[in-house]
């Protein structure tokens, strides 16, 4: 099984708010991988918008991710593109 572990810095000036969290969960749903994010302590499931929002991630936050599954690398690339964007597009 493929496993990818990485860190990402939140670039969006508004942090991870509802729209960004929804896009994150959409990315996870579109890939054959399970993804967890650790922002403050315990990892949360990126398939759950409520769990992602519970982290209250602001611009500049550095978070750790773990992705497992056949599409782990593709999911990681898509998530990095989303979180490194300074604005939503």
- List C-alpha distances in Å: 21 to 3, 46, 52, 53: 22, 9, 6, 7
Go through the chain and tell me how many residues it has: 89
Q: Give the three-state DSSP class for 59.
A: coil
Residue 89 has pLDDT above 70, yes or no: no
Q: Tell me, what's the pLDDT at 87?
A: 67
Residue 1 has pLDDT above 80, yes or no: no
Q: Which pLDDT tens digit goes with each residue over 12-53?
A: 999 999 999 999 999 999 999 999 999 878 899 999 999 999
- By C-alpha distance, which of 89, 63, 86 is closest to 12? 86
Distance CA 27, CA 14 (A): 19
As a whole number, mean pLDDT of residues 77-84 equals 92
Q: Is domain 3-84 in CATH 3.30.110.40, yes or no?
A: no
- Domain segments of the chain as ranges: 3-84
């Amino acid at each position: 099984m493929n496993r990818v572990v990485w860190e990402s810095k939140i670039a969006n000036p508004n942090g991870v708010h509802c729209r960004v969290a929804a896009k994150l969960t959409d990315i996870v749903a579109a890939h054959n991988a399970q993804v967890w994010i650790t922002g403050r302590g315990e990892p949360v499931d990126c398939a759950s918008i409520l769990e992602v929002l519970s982290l209250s991630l602001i611009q500049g936050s550095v978070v750790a991710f773990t992705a497992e599954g056949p599409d782990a690398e593709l999911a990681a690339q898509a998530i990095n593109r989303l979180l490194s964007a300074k604005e939503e597009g």
